[in-house]
Structure 1
């Protein structure tokens, strides 16, 4: 074991640490690239939604469906949508709304 202040041992540890760190970063490079692509895809999707909403807001129509606009603005995951619309609670052909805002 190296004594405190032993410059050669400290250099050895620093080199070993740097080599291990470089190997880890190399192994994770594909994962980091996938994460970056996912962030870019998510940003593009959000920008598209914003453009769609801005277009809808710029052209209001008397027959516009506020629920459809709300669905665009606040999409629900499929499992939540099933519960909200009562699809998860169907029995014998009965459809019962489980959420006050269901369609």
Structure 2
């Protein structure tokens, strides 16, 4: 599920010296679900538009509850966990 932004993401975090974590539970206490780096998710933005088959690249310390980096064109702008739905085999999974 490569969209081509992993390299840019890795360059960005190296350049900024930003610490990126592998699990949501590393940055949020008692999350409703524990998302992990490498999972494939759908992202639904505030306008209700859904983008499918995005890989989680990592997690940062939350700001405005945003802490999930995704392999998408705006890889530098973290999503909120509640905007994500986990997918398996291209289909959304009920949690």
TM-score range, shorter-chain basis?
A: under 0.3
Give the number of the structure whose alpha-carbon radius of gyration is greater.
1
Q: Which has the higher helix share?
A: 1
Q: Which has the higher strand share?
A: 2
Output the TM-score relative to the length of structure 2. 0.24
Output the TM-score relative to the length of structure 1. 0.23
